[in-house]
Amino acid sequence: MPAYMVKAFEFMSEQFGRYPWPEYSIAQGGDGGMEYPMLTLITGKRKLGSLVGVSVHESVHSWFYGVLASDEGHFPWMDEGFTEYAGSKVMPHLFGGTADPHASAYEGYRVLMAMPDHEPMSVHADHFETNRAYGITAYSKGEMFLQQLGYVIGDTTMRQGLLRYFNACRFKHPMPVDLERSMEKVSGLELDWYFDEWINTTRATDYAVDTLFTAGDSTQVRIRRLGGMLMPVDMKLTNTGGDSTVVSIPLSLMRGAKPAGSEHFPFTSASPWSGGTHLHVARARYLDESRTVQRRTSGGYGSLQRQKREHGTSARVQGKAETELGSRARRWSPRYLL
C-alpha cells in the first residue's frame, strides 16, 4: 500500500503539478473515504485495488480543492470531476492495463443523458433536484468535461494546459474562467463556446455521417450534428486498400484548429464548420462504387431513430470502405475520434 501511494504521488506531481506539502497520512476510520488537508480517512477491510483506489481519489483532492481551492459548492465538477479525471490517469499507471481509464465516466455520462432530472453543471451542489443527478454530474460529467476538452485541443496540449492552470492558480481560488484562460493560452484557440455548452446546458453530443459518395477521383463525406452540443469532429477515413488518415474538422467558433503535434496520432486539419452539416472532400477514392451510407456514429442517444425519420431509410454500415467516427472511444462515446 505505501509503495503504491508513493508512486501515485510521484505521478501526480509530474503530470498535474508538484505536491507542496512534506507528508500525507492515510488513516483508517470514517465512512468510505473523506479528504482533508494532508490527510484522508478511509474504511478498511477492502481488497488492495479498492483500498488503493479510494486512497488515490481522496489524495488527488489535495490538488483539486487543496492547492487549487475551487469552490466545490458552486463548481462541484471542478473538485470531484477533476479528481476523478486525474485519478483515472493514476490507476493504470499503478496497475497497468489497456482498458480506457475513462470508460466508467463515459458510462455515467450516457446514463445521465437519459435521465429526466439531468441539470446543467452550473447548478449549485446543494440545489440539484436529485442527489443522483448531482453525483453523476459532478463526478462523471466533470471528468468528461476535461476528457472532451482534451479532444478539442489535443491530449498533449491538454496536459500542458493543466500544468499551466495549476501553476497560475495554486493557492488561489480559481474560477472556471481561469481554467479557460490557461487552455486558450496553450492551444491558441477560443474556447468560450466549449465552457458555455458544457457548463450551462444539458445538450447531447451526437454526430453522424450523413452521406458518403464518390465523385471522380475523390470521396465526399457529409457529416451532420444530431444533438445540441457544438463540437469539432475528428474523422478517420480508411480507403479500400486499408490505409487510414485522420482529418480534424474544427468548429469555426474555435478560430483555429488544434495544434499540430497535439495528439498521439498524426492528423490533418480540414476547413472549419459551424456545427450544422459539413461536406468534406477527400482527394482519394474511399469507395469502389458510388453509394450512400447512413449510419449511427456516436450513438446511444436516439440518433439512429432520428436518422431513420429524417431520411426515411434504415441505417446500414458500409462494409468495405467506410468513414468511421468513434473508434478511439467506445461506440456510444461522444469522443468520436477516429
138 versus 270: smaller Cβ distance to Zn ion:
138
Task: Give min distance, CB of 34 to Zn ion, in A.
Answer: 8
Element (H, E) at 3: helix 2-16
135 versus 256: smaller Cβ distance to Zn ion:
135
Task: Give min distance, CB of 85 to Zn ion, in A.
Answer: 12
8 versus 226: smaller Cβ distance to Zn ion:
8
268-269/244-249 β-pairing: parallel
80 versus 324: smaller Cβ distance to Zn ion:
80
Task: Give min distance, CB of 84 to Zn ion, in A.
Answer: 8
Q: Where are the alpha helices (DSSP H) in 175-253?
A: 176-187, 192-200
**Alpha-carbon separation of residue 97 from 94, 151, 198 (angstroms):** 9, 22, 30
Task: Give min distance, CB of 125 to Zn ion, in A.
Answer: 12
Task: Give min distance, CB of 317 to Zn ion, in A.
Answer: 40
Residues 6+ apart with CB under 8 A from 319: none
80 versus 234: smaller Cβ distance to Zn ion:
80
User: In 3-state terms, what secondary structure has residue 323?
Assistant: strand
**Alpha-carbon separation of residue 91 from 11, 45, 229, 315, 329 (angstroms):** 10, 20, 30, 38, 18
Q: Which grid coordinates are listed for 337? A: 475520434
Task: Give min distance, CB of 57 to Zn ion, in A.
Answer: 6
63 versus 166: smaller Cβ distance to Zn ion:
63
- 169, 65 Cβ separation under 8 angstroms: no
Report the residue number whose CB is nearest to Zn ion.
80
Comparing CA positions, the residue from 17, 15, 147 lying closest to residue 82 is 147
Task: Give min distance, CB of 202 to Zn ion, in A.
Answer: 23
Comparing CA positions, the residue from 205, 199, 230 lying closest to residue 123 is 199
80 versus 263: smaller Cβ distance to Zn ion:
80
CA angle in degrees (0–180, nearest 5) for 139-262-208: 65
d(C-alpha 112, C-alpha 94), whole Å: 29
- 232, 323 Cβ separation under 8 angstroms: no
Q: Where along the sequence are the contacts to Zn ion (CB under 5 A)?
A: 80
77 versus 332: smaller Cβ distance to Zn ion:
77
Question: Residue 207 CA to chain centroid, in angstroms?
Answer: 15
Would you give the end-to-end CA distance of the chain in angstroms?
38
- 298, 332 Cβ separation under 8 angstroms: yes
